[in-house]
Amino acid sequence: MKLTNEEKQALIDLANEARRRAYVPYSKYPVGAALRTKTGRMYTGANIENAAYPQTMCAERVAIFKAVSEGETEFEVIAVVTNNGGSPCGGCRQVMAEFGLDTVVLIADGNGTLQKELTVAVLLPEAFTPDHLL
């Protein structure tokens, strides 16, 4: 899938806007995500922390779970924005892999500048996928 620079920036901007709604009283590390499905629908997410730390939810998973809860399971691209262009955690990489290793991942910093563009397959080599359960 080939994305135009305008499409990339629009997704990054949406993720950056979602990042402003992050609930991060402990880490002070807001993350935003914007997901576009193969049907063209968009879903955003922000990380949501909890005093019981394991209950925290990452922005990427919020966006993906919102999409899945609305019946969408085929994704084209997800943009992730952090202050410093940080990469998705291992748990998020595994959730992304569940829905397609070819999903494009755009990683940007808080200024909205694209830092990296890759696929889930590159982020999570030798991923454990549903095919392994057959």
| Catalytic choice (6, 17, 49, 60) | 60
Mark whether 74 is an active-site residue. no
Token duo for residue 128: 């454990």
Looking up tokens 């979602």, which residue turns up? 18
Nearest 5°: CA angle at 129, between 100 and 65?
A: 55
Measuring CA to CA, how many Å separate 110 from each of 33, 41, 72, 84?
Answer: 12, 24, 28, 6
Question: What is the set of active-site residues?
Answer: 60
